[in-house]
Structure 1
Amino acid sequence: MPTFPIPMPTDLTILLTVMDFVGVFVFGLSGGTLAVRKQLDLFGVMVLSLAAALAGGVVRDLLIGALPPASLQDDRYLLVALAAGLAAFLFHKPINRLGKPVMVLDAAGLGLFTVAGCSKALSYGLTPLPAALLGVMTACGGGAMRDLLVAEVPRVLREEIYAMAALLGAAVVIAGRQLDLPPVPVAVVGALAAFLLRVVSVQRNWSAPKAPWS
């Protein structure tokens, strides 16, 4: 009897859309969870959730000329971000039991948004270096906005391995594109690489180099 195997998709359209939405949700949760920790009200939770979830993608789309930004064209982005904020508001206690929830959620969003941002920049014709920088900006922009709104120094500017983890994820995507490797596995590996480097660096207290004698 003949079999009909299901082929793996060869383009990134569906995967990147899924990564975008998952990234929006986990970054929205990280913003909402931080807002609850700072004892903000429901409105403040929603504002931080929206900022964390959408700011990086909006900046990316503005810079590459993808107008209006995806989050303003498709209501689902706003709805997913608001749902994440509401989930953080209602279920912050079980989320906090996970241990360092903001860091873990932030690391997950970092990996997903890095791959989505870098891949979208490449699809708009950018060369590898600007595409990598836009991937980092997509991943770090929302977290930076979230931290600034609660008067914290953004994580991307601290000693922790943060932007470097995003750069690793972007490098995997670019290397895969240059070597003409299957795009879907490359995207998954890039997101995992950024996530794992971020989490391991926090667990082992790794930090980016500082100026000598500073």
Structure 2
Amino acid sequence: MDLQQLFADLADVPWLLTALDLVGVFFFAVSGALLAARKDFDLVGSMALALFAGLGGGFTRDIVLDRGLPASLENPIYLAPPVLVSLLVYVGAIRPNRLNLTITLFDAAGLALFTVSGVMIAHAMGIHPVSVVVVATVGALGGGVLRDIVANEVPSIFDPRGVYVMPAFVGAAVAELVAQRGALNAFTGFLIALLIFTVRMVAYRYQWRLPGAHVTQDKDQLDRLRRLAEQAQAAAARRAARARERTLRPVFGPAEEYEDQVRVEDYDPDTQSITVVDEATRQSVRYHPETGIMDVTDLRTGRTRSYDDPEDDWVADRTTEDDAGPDRTGAGRGADGR
């Protein structure tokens, strides 16, 4: 048997596409169930998020390709992985120590498998090669985007740290080139999926970034952050003064909120510097009343910028040391990187 015939036999495996889809559904479902656990969802919420994550990409792909009833509805076996995964997480059978890293691992595996299966399905339908790449990429991203939106998270495709879309896009392009030569099969598909997974995880580990536009924040938004930080700092200073009068030790914890808009993360009675978190914009603000400097950290990217006073532009633009860490949210870290 020559090499071309071997490739043809490998590509003509009846269960190949279903197997790739099911394994991809499983991995995406695990990422959804783990995210639900991090959000303290109950069992129903965990199953819902696992279903959205596991089946969202296939739904998107099949609808775009007009394949009729999506495969996950036509074949009930697609519902098994999300339900099973949710139960395993719920009973503690899956108990990761590093939750963010584990979610990213399973998400990257699902991304890789759905990219390859999407190319196989779209290519078999005879559409234009460029359309194959687009459909495969959209289908691979669909589950993760739907999962993050439902869980009220910033979708991974918008996180500048650790490129997310490019591994799927490049992998889909490579898979289509291989398919054009009649060599896309179980073996080459696995190698391409492994390539996508590896690039995604290396990008996550080293926080690779694609170039982007450098645009300063809206002045009204900055003025709002400064006003809230100043008001919270003044209130904290008054409470500290009253506590000293009563010889009590002031307590400022993360549960303390100011006007239901910002949360006090840290307050230093000596310097009177305060750190507040604005959940609406996912930003942490470290305000220094003596100098008037306001350090603003984007909790989604870890990037910190120092704002001198309301009439000046940025005076510093830096990335914190913790920026290279695995924690996407930057929770528990002040604007000065602590």
Question: Do these two structures clear the TM 0.5 threshold for a shared fold by scoring above it?
Answer: yes
Shift of 1:106: 0.3
Other-structure match for 1:88: 89
Q: Higher strand fraction: Structure 1 or Structure 2?
A: 2
Q: Higher helix fraction: Structure 1 or Structure 2?
A: 1
Other-structure match for 1:63: 64
Shift of 1:191: 0.7
Aligned-CA RMSD value: 1.9
Other-structure match for 1:147: 148
SS at match of 1:95: coil
Q: Is the 8 A contact 1:25 1:80 kept in 2?
A: yes
- CA distance 1:93–1:186, change in 2 (3 Å): closer
Matches within 5 A, 1:112-151: 112-151=113-152
SS at match of 2:95: helix
Shift of 1:42: 0.7
Structure 1 runs not aligned, ≥5 long: 1-6
Write out per-residue CA displacement over residues 109-156 of structure 1, whole angstroms, 9 at most, x where no aligned residue. Answer: 010001011211111111111111111111111110110111111001
Matches within 5 A, 1:1-214: 9-11=10-12, 13-91=14-92, 94-96=95-97, 100-159=101-160, 160-181=162-183, 183-212=185-214
Shift of 1:15: 2.1
Shift of 1:171: 1.6
Code of the residue aligned with 1:106 in structure 2: it is D
Shift of 1:66: 1.0
Other-structure match for 1:3: none
Shift of 1:99: 7.2
Q: Is the 8 A contact 1:33 1:89 kept in 2?
A: no
Greater CA deviation, 28-37 or 89-98?
89-98
Shift of 1:172: 1.9
Q: Is the 8 A contact 2:89 2:95 kept in 1?
A: no
Code of the residue aligned with 2:43 in structure 1: it is L
Q: Is the 8 A contact 1:118 1:131 kept in 2?
A: yes
Shift of 1:95: 3.0
Greater CA deviation, 111-120 or 93-102?
93-102
CA distance in 1, matches of 2:198, 2:22: 20
CA distance in 2, matches of 1:16, 1:200: 27
Greater CA deviation, 93-102 or 58-67?
93-102
Shift of 1:84: 1.6
Larger Rg: 2
Code of the residue aligned with 1:201 in structure 2: it is A
CA distance in 1, matches of 2:140, 2:79: 17
Write out per-residue CA displacement over residues 152-183 of structure 1, whole angstroms, 9 at most, x where no aligned residue. Answer: 11001221311101012212211111233252
Structure 2 runs not aligned, ≥5 long: 1-5, 217-338
CA distance in 1, matches of 2:203, 2:38: 23
TM-score, L = length of structure 2? 0.58
